[in-house]
Structure 1
């Protein structure tokens, strides 16, 4: 990713903060993590890491556009997909959590990991997010694959 994309990604992500300058300072001088409010520019769908990593792999195909911003939390074993805010959408499934208006999400800067948070697909500053219908289809496919694989792996 070029320096221009990093800069645009930082500005785009920090715009979700109540004070974007303080947010950027926290990324650079604090512990590297800022709490950003969901629901205005984006929502986050958080899923168990095995499901999320397989879903991202399905989304990352040459025939499709580059996936939207995707964050992994290695301590909580979760993957977060950034998608357009939509208070009317209900995501139903075991282990699915949606952070929308009124929720806060801990995020590192787009240019580096911080503690247990790391961007698998950092924001590029264009505002591109995961398309909900495409994400849902990939989640269903990944869930079906895991349902077959789990009994064979003994988990």
Structure 2
């Protein structure tokens, strides 16, 4: 495992009930995914792709590197890793949350998966998460751009 991938895996499995067993099984999984509990080191805000992808575009214009971001089910949803506790306080319409008491499917960093979940922004192992306030502003900008037709067609 490369250094960044190894530290990303260690950071991710640190929330598992048995991190060593989780990592061992995950490294050998033919599907390249595992279930991890949200709400410990991160929550996940899940946006529909028509808002999630443009939001990620906005974030990558203003940040050197946002926190980890997942895409799933044919890119129908985009999941942004945010600080724990965010899910309990989030009020945004159309945004699903995964916080304490929920589990998420997570692909192995740096490896192609055979499943429907993939990283758009892989974790780097440092614990970097997307600031929820900045994410909300990026969502507003993305929604405004979508409403005015910006970014459509080329």
Q: 1:27: how far off?
A: 2.3
1:41 aligns with 2:41: yes
The CA deviation string for residues 40-60 of structure 1, in whole angstroms up to 9 with x for no partner, is: 110000001121111111111
Q: 1:76: how far off?
A: 6.3
Alignment of 1:92-103 (within 5 A): 92-94=92-94, 96-103=95-102
Q: Name the counterpart of 1:54.
A: 54
Q: Name the counterpart of 2:16.
A: 17
CA contact (8 A) 1:38 1:100 kept: yes
Matched position secondary structure for 1:12: helix
Q: 1:134: how far off?
A: 0.5
Structure 1 stretches of at least 4 aligned residues deviating more than 2 Å after TM superposition: 25-28, 147-150
CA contact (8 A) 1:44 1:81 kept: yes
CA contact (8 A) 1:45 1:81 kept: yes
CA contact (8 A) 2:83 2:129 kept: yes
Q: TM-score, normalised by structure 1?
A: 0.87
The CA deviation string for residues 52-95 of structure 1, in whole angstroms up to 9 with x for no partner, is: 1111111112x52311000110336100000001154123122x
Q: C-alpha distance in 2, partners of 1:137/1:18? A: 34
Q: Give the length in aligned residue pairs.
A: 149
Q: TM-score, normalised by structure 2?
A: 0.88
Q: C-alpha distance in 2, partners of 1:113/1:71? A: 13
Unpaired stretches in structure 2, ≥5 consecutive residues: none
Q: C-alpha distance in 2, partners of 1:32/1:19? A: 18
Q: 1:28: how far off?
A: 2.2
Matched position secondary structure for 1:82: strand
